[in-house]
Amino acid sequence: MIEERIRRAAEQILGDSSLTEYLDDSDAQRLLDWALSISRRAVEQTASMADADADLQLEEVSTNLRKAVRRISKLAGTLGESAPDEVAEQMSKILEAAVNIPGLSGVSIDPDQVAHALQGQPPAAALTTLLGLFSTQTGETMPGDAASTPPGPAESKAAPAPGPVVRPGAPPREITPRVPPVQIVHRPAQPHEIAPRVPPVETVPHSPEPGSADEPDTDTQKGVQDEIRKE
């Protein structure tokens, strides 16, 4: 039941293109997101109400919310063309519509102070200022606020490791490059070279050929033998 009410209220806002005709697409989307959050909160307050009573109350809220959105869009989009007194008058009309919107009815804003704060701001910055005024007063976080953005994965709770402490005025410390350790490679011992064993030379007795100079004299041998016998 409550989801159906939220859907119908959102359709009334998103289906009216005139609400953001003075803004570009990105600023228009921011304003619509803000309006949808206000609308959803108003619908949730009717959870215990009968359909007839809830529809009557939400119709009035939707009408005034769309007036406020349209006037905020015009004020931010035409700020450069408006004099400070015109800006203050437009701000007063925004507050008139906000009185009948739950969550915005208690907002206390001085239109003249707003006009002075908006001077010279481009439409995007002026829209941020206007939505910030309502967000600050109601506690509603404006779309795009840092408070509504969950911390990303890069944000860590752990404190970063402290770096080296440098005394003010001290000369820069020279950092000696780290030399990588020398890797010692153990190689296996080389075996000693062993000279090949030479086989012994076989001596063959030499027989002199007959008639050669090496052949012994027969007569001489006989004479020697005779001398030995005589002795």
pTM score over 0.85: no
Q: What pLDDT is attached to residue 160?
A: 42
Residue 88 sits in which domain range? 2-139
Is 134 part of a structural domain of the chain?
yes
Residue 123: what pLDDT? Answer: 95
pLDDT number for residue 192: 52
Q: Give residue for tokens 């989801």.
A: 3
The answer to whether position 19 is within a domain reads yes
Q: Is residue 9 part of a domain?
A: yes
Q: 77 lies in a domain?
A: yes
**For the stretch 50-87, what's the b/e string if a residue is b when 16 or more beta carbons lie within 10 angstroms of its beta carbon?**
eeeebeebbeebbebbbbbbbbbbbbbbebeebeeeeb
Virtual torsion, Cα 38, 25, 133, 56, nearest 10 deg: -20
Confidence (pLDDT) at 149: 37
Domain count, the chain: 1
In this structure, how many other beta carbons lie within 10 angstroms of the beta carbon of residue 126?
24
Q: 109 in a domain, yes or no? A: yes
Per the domain annotation, does 23 fall within a domain? yes
Q: b/e string for 91-113 if b means 16 or more Cβ within 10 A?
A: bebbbebbeebbbbeebebebee
Q: Per residue of the chain (231 residues), what is the pLDDT tens digit?
A: 899 999 999 999 999 999 999 999 999 999 999 999 999 999 999 999 999 999 999 999 999 999 999 999 999 999 989 999 999 999 999 999 998 898 786 678 899 999 999 999 999 999 999 998 887 555 554 444 433 333 333 333 444 444 444 444 445 555 555 655 555 555 555 555 555 565 665 655 555 555 555 555 555 555 655 665 665
In a domain, 196, yes or no: no
- Does a structural domain hold residue 162? no
Specify the pLDDT at position 56.
94
Integer Cα distance of 175 and 167 in angstroms: 16
